[in-house]
Structure 1
Amino acid sequence: MTANDWTTEAKGAGQIADVNGISLYFETHGAGRPLILLHGGLGSGEMFGPVIPALAEHHQVIAVDLQGHGRTADIDRPLELGLMADDIAALIDHLQLTKPDLVGYSLGGGVAVYTAAKYPHKIGKLVATSVNLRPDAIYAEMRVQQGQVTGAAAEFMKDTPMYQLYQRVAPRPEDFPRLLDKIGEMMGKDFDYTEEVRGLQVPTMIVAGDADMAPPSHHVEIFKLLDGGLRDGGWMGEGRPKGGHALAILPGLTHYNIFSSPLLAAVVLAFLDEPATT
């Protein structure tokens, strides 16, 4: 992966929303039914640069930089999915959006799940990409790597796209070690999002690469919480999951390139533009 993979030629209109004590940066692209796009850890909305044009053909894409990421400066609070979900709900109110769809990847996927779980009346459909329910769902060697994420690692990350993007766009580039400390602290905590997923009340698609950070079987497990993968779908789709949920395992993709893949854009659009079922 090169740094260019984490930038976008599709320049949108950048704005700031002052919500919950944070100055949340977001860019808008295109027009149509609103779609809020949430990036992964250590990234920004620019991660989606290669797929934004396709998404923006029929949707107003609102690419947000989450707390402490990209052009959104950090504030004095921990990085927590629930708090960032509150930010997204406040942004929806700030922009006076009516049930926008939520598309999140990795960290942003977790934020999207929490937002939809806590504020179902504010959300249309949800796409959660490359998320996991528990720490033990991901491969053991990746857990070891996550445990090494601290501010002390900043010096060793200077050649990475994460560092280079942050230095280019962050309001305070010197805060990168602080972001690493907060990400590391968040990843070091035990968690289980089973009940949040099981209780989702909006049509949800679970997406992952076939060589993602967790095995495909884990994403099938998540799908089962949503009434999926339990029976034959039927000739007329009558056996499909109640609530309009779906699962997509995308071939040839990993945790590190799925967010910029045309395949992701294709399945997201197919799901979002399909009439909702009950």
Structure 2
Amino acid sequence: MKTLHALIAFLFLLIALPVFAQNFEKDMDTTMYGRNKAVGKYAELRGIKMYYEVYGKGEPLLIIHGNGGSINNFVYQIPYFAKKYQVILADSRAQGKTVDHADSLSYEMITDDLNALLEHLKLKNVNVIGWSDGGIEGLLLAINHPDKVKKLAVTGANLRPDTSAVDPFVQKAVLATNIKGADSLRRMKNPTPEMKNQLKLMHLLSYEPHIKTSDLKKIKCPTLVIGGDHDVITTRHTLEIFENIPDAYLWILPNSGHATPLVYKDMFNQVVADFLAKPFRKISGYGRFM
């Protein structure tokens, strides 16, 4: 049991280390976001009770967290965007307050959950911001439910789980942790539901997604593709995503890792807000000189 806990803790630190190095955990631990009894609700959909919160008024904006994350990950984005938008956030399946006891988990399942939430809220379409796994789900939402996405901004998203997309050190560490964790779980007589859930999330991180570049060409909404120049997702892969979406902008942040919405929160909020507010501009021909 101690071994499995250690492995889970290692993976968590591996993913969240840039966050903790900057001491952002204090703001996440003390914020009302993700635990706000005044606005928090559950939607019964697709066999789960999805926890969600809504802030502000205006054009709807869905913000999606990453693997093992929660609503509180966007402590810096919620108050900023709620001034102009109706901000919708949910704890994804098997994460945060949204419990899921099923053995399997996929990005497609989470994406369909989010689509069902939008239908539950009677929203025809929304703008979307997705971070990490949330970026993957944002891409899938735009691919599989194109009518639901008006504009899309993704940071730290990937199409594949291998080293053509993920930094080799990170990919190797995550995969090894998943294998060791699964082995430890098999040796246990009575693993807790929490342990099973953590391994399910690790498995998702290790072996998915599998999105074809040809699928990206189906995305019709204007898209802002974001990454850090030292992200866990390689810059060449972020470029690949950008190049295969018909109407896309690319933003690579210098001196940045994976936690762009936290480490560069002010710049991130401003650039994404400008992208959402302004009409998409096709740039070609002589326009490239401007």
TM-score (norm 1): 0.80
Q: Does 1:146 align with 2:148?
A: no
Relative to structure 1, is the Cα distance of residues 47 and 7 closer, same or farther in structure 2, using a 3 angstrom cutoff?
Answer: farther
Quote the Cα distance in structure 2 between the aligned partners of 1:203 and 1:78. Answer: 32
Shift of 1:276: 4.3
AA aligned to 2:277 is: D
2:255 corresponds to: 252
Relative to structure 1, is the Cα distance of residues 38 and 102 closer, same or farther in structure 2, using a 3 angstrom cutoff?
Answer: same
AA aligned to 1:34 is: P
- Pick one of 128, 147, 152 that aligns with 1:121: 147
2:286 corresponds to: none
Quote the Cα distance in structure 2 between the aligned partners of 1:68 and 1:151. Answer: 20
Shift of 1:48: 0.7
**Secondary structure in structure 1 of the residue aligned to 2:176:** coil
User: For structure 1, which segment, 41-50 or 144-153, has the greater mean C-alpha deviation from structure 2 after superposition?
Assistant: 144-153
Shift of 1:6: 3.2
Shift of 1:40: 0.7
Shift of 1:98: 2.4
Quote the Cα distance in structure 2 between the aligned partners of 1:138 and 1:129. Answer: 14
Indicate if the aligned counterparts of 2:143 and 2:215 stay in contact, CA closer than 8 A. yes
1:182 corresponds to: 200
**Secondary structure in structure 2 of the residue aligned to 1:200:** coil
Q: Does 1:18 align with 2:44?
A: yes
- Pick one of 26, 30, 46 that aligns with 1:4: 26
Shift of 1:274: 1.2
1:14-34 CA deviation, whole Å, 9 max, x = no partner? Answer: 111111111111111111111
Matches within 5 A, 1:29-48: 29-48=55-74
**How many residue pairs were aligned?**
242
- Pick one of 202, 208, 220 that aligns with 1:201: 220
Indicate if the aligned counterparts of 2:181 and 2:199 stay in contact, CA closer than 8 A. no
Shift of 1:88: 0.9
Q: Does 1:91 align with 2:117?
A: yes
Indicate if the aligned counterparts of 1:25 and 1:71 stay in contact, CA closer than 8 A. yes
Indicate if the aligned counterparts of 2:65 and 2:73 stay in contact, CA closer than 8 A. yes
Relative to structure 1, is the Cα distance of residues 133 and 190 closer, same or farther in structure 2, using a 3 angstrom cutoff?
Answer: same
Contiguous gaps of at least 5 residues in structure 1: 155-173, 228-242
User: For structure 1, which segment, 59-68 or 262-271, has the greater mean C-alpha deviation from structure 2 after superposition?
Assistant: 262-271
Cα RMSD between the aligned structures? 2.2
Quote the Cα distance in structure 1 between the aligned partners of 2:206 and 2:41. Answer: 33
Quote the Cα distance in structure 1 between the aligned partners of 2:105 and 2:30. Answer: 26
AA aligned to 2:226 is: V
Contiguous gaps of at least 5 residues in structure 2: 1-19, 183-191, 283-290
TM-score (norm 2): 0.77
Indicate if the aligned counterparts of 2:178 and 2:206 stay in contact, CA closer than 8 A. no
Structure with higher Rg: it is 2
1:161 corresponds to: none
**Secondary structure in structure 1 of the residue aligned to 2:105:** coil
Q: Percent same amino acid at aligned positions? A: 29
